[in-house]
Structure 1
Amino acid sequence: MEYSNAIMKVLVFLACTTHLALAGSHSLQYFYTAVTPGINFPEYTSVGLVDGEQIVYCDSNIRKNIPKTEWMEKNEGAEYWDRQTQICLRQQKNFKVNLGTAMGRFNQTKGVHTVQRMVACELDDDGTKRGYRQDAYDGEDFISLDMNTQTWTAPKPQAVITKNKWEATGVAATHYKNYLENTCIESLQKYVSYGRDTLERKDHPEVSVFQKDSSAVCHATGFFPKAVMISWQKDGEDVNENVELRETLPNHDGTFQKKSILILSPEELKNHKYTCVVQHSGLDIVMPLHPGGVSVGVIVGVVAVLLLVLIGCVGFFIWRKKKNDFKPVAASDGEGSSTSSK
């Protein structure tokens, strides 16, 4: 039970922090996770994704960085994979130290705990850049970078000492701003050029609308890219109350699915006309709700995204066991080496 709760926190945090690239943009994300030993899960895991599709993977069991798409394997040679493997092995050691230090900060000596990190950048067609560096402990926000002010946000008291140390010199913020706006973007552009035929294809959703007990369900599935909007209308007017919009989830074939649930009474269902509107990649699909029946709309499309469940993660700062020391992570395409030595 303790293990399940810990992994659930990872998933919840991932759902809240995985940024959804806008239409006409591309994203590169790296997720790192360290977990306490003794459970049936790798102690360290790293994964890289372009536009939500997993491109590289490494963990403490396989002890090497491997390609997860044909276009990555085809375009990067043995030297690249050897270098990334060595980086992964060094990061594994550093994150193990981080986990022990974080547990100390929270006065914990046992139990299942996780240290997580996300480093990501996005590039729009118009040249707009965005970057993210977010850390977590046990699936909850720990510290994150504000790219605009180059300051650190520390929602936990245990992270304030880190915030103060990093802001004392500004080196860490400057390093990540430079990495996210330059190195990360350059890597993103390179990887998109490798997989353009796949990444820029479009799969429009199959949409079904049906009644379930005292609610109406609108389900969109099989779509790519991930960005989608689902809304309800009542007699042609937008409905904003009693609507539960679920998280976007991956399908086994790499596409995505999402559902919206509208709570309504039998009287409302009888006296009003309800429709679901799904917007995806410039296409609007409008599906009516037929009480007691199922409305299905199919739009044909293509493409794939593979999202690693359980391992997509947001990272924590790397610490030494010696209080207040910072041990930088080795440089990689996923995250540049830190110029800080706090």
Structure 2
Amino acid sequence: MKTEQYLQYCICTFVAIHTLRYDTAITPAISFTTGELDGEQFVHYDSNITEVIPKTEWIKKISAVRPEYWKREREWMWRELEDLQHLLNLAVELFNHTKGVHTLQRVYGCELDDDGTIRGYDQFGYDGEDFISLNLTTGTWTAAKPQAEIMTKWDPDGRYARDRKYYLEKECIELLTQYMSYRREALERKVRPEASLFQNHSSSPEVVCHATGFFPKALNISWQKDGEEVHEDVELRETLPNQDGSFQKRSVLIVTPEALQKHTYTCVIQHSSSEKELVLPVSERRILRGRRNTFL
């Protein structure tokens, strides 16, 4: 199925393009639909679980604004899979493919340039070969091979083709614009980190500076000794995601108890959510457990 040629052409024009794209496949084992915004998958649905699964944090927030969203999406995807199953059955009958495993694929979506230009496409493939596509200019279906019989049975009066043309040129563009707005709001939000300092036990040589609950992802943790930045004996751990879409990060300072008593150490956290640095004195750290028993 040569569904990528259209997209490759658009990318090669070097125009800023935003895309909303859906991929659907009907197979004997499982049927599924995925949605992508600018190449990032944001939603998934398959016939086994019959639930719409959000894949990004920003799409989850839509349900708070539009409570009916998930119900509508689930019903719409279920109906689409039923329609495609009907088309697959017609194709199997048309080609007299009574044996073997056969699949139907669909790729459709819309594109919006920064200058306001819009485009849409709706393409089907059968067993990996081009099958049917929508001519957006005429609002009619065209087939890779003469298949008048299947077109007559599937969309006899052309109403579905006209509905798809309206969807791609209007509703899809409205959804694309709306999704871009939700994503932009989610990506531009800034949440201050919650910070803490601790040692696992009083004799541990490791002091941990931990920041969590922050967004966006970029955050810097550094250490100072008597006001001077420390680079040695520091282990900066990778940034990890939290379940709510925020992030956490920690840095470990390797230091002896004698040095802690002799010098003043601080952990400094920098994040875009605040113009001021978070400065945590090591002297105020929490000790999670008492002195470790070396005989255990």
- For normalisation by structure 2, the TM-score amounts to 0.55
| 2:102 equivalent in structure 1 | 113
From 25, 31, 52, the equivalent of 2:23 is 31
AA in 1 matched with 2:167: Y
Deviation at 1:167, TM superposition (A): 8.7
Deviation at 1:16, TM superposition (A): 4.2
Decide whether the 8 Å contact of 1:166 with 1:173 is kept in 2: no
3-state DSSP of counterpart to 2:41: strand
From 179, 183, 189, the equivalent of 1:195 is 183
3-state DSSP of counterpart to 1:76: helix
Report which stretch shifted further, 191-200 or 43-52.
191-200
Decide whether the 8 Å contact of 2:3 with 2:123 is kept in 1: no
From 84, 91, 99, the equivalent of 1:95 is 84
From 66, 87, 92, the equivalent of 2:53 is 66
Decide whether the 8 Å contact of 2:140 with 2:162 is kept in 1: no
Query: For residues 168 and 111 of structure 1, do their structure 2 counterparts lie closer, same or farther at Cα, with a shift above 3 Å needed?
Result: closer
Partner Cα separation in structure 2 for residue 84 and residue 71 of structure 1: 16
3-state DSSP of counterpart to 1:148: coil
Q: Which has the higher contact order (CA 8 A, sep 6+)?
A: 1
Instruction: State whether structure 2 residue 164 is matched by structure 1 residue 172.
Output: no
Which 5+ residue runs of structure 2 have no aligned equivalent?
Answer: 189-296
Choose between structure 1 and 2: higher strand proportion. 2
Aligned length: 183
For 1:35-184, list aligned pairs within 5 A: 35-37=27-29, 43-77=30-64, 78-157=67-146, 159-163=147-151, 169-184=157-172
Give per-residue Cα distances to partners, 1:14-43, cap 9 Å, x unaligned.
Answer: 544655555322111111110123xxxxx2
Structure number with greater Rg is 2
Partner Cα separation in structure 2 for residue 180 and residue 81 of structure 1: 21
Deviation at 1:156, TM superposition (A): 1.9
Which 5+ residue runs of structure 1 have no aligned equivalent?
Answer: 1-11, 38-42, 201-342
Identity fraction in percent: 45
Deviation at 1:88, TM superposition (A): 2.6
Deviation at 1:162, TM superposition (A): 4.1
Partner Cα separation in structure 2 for residue 179 and residue 34 of structure 1: 22
Partner Cα separation in structure 2 for residue 147 and residue 111 of structure 1: 34
- For normalisation by structure 1, the TM-score amounts to 0.48
3-state DSSP of counterpart to 1:161: helix
AA in 2 matched with 1:187: L
Decide whether the 8 Å contact of 1:34 with 1:114 is kept in 2: yes
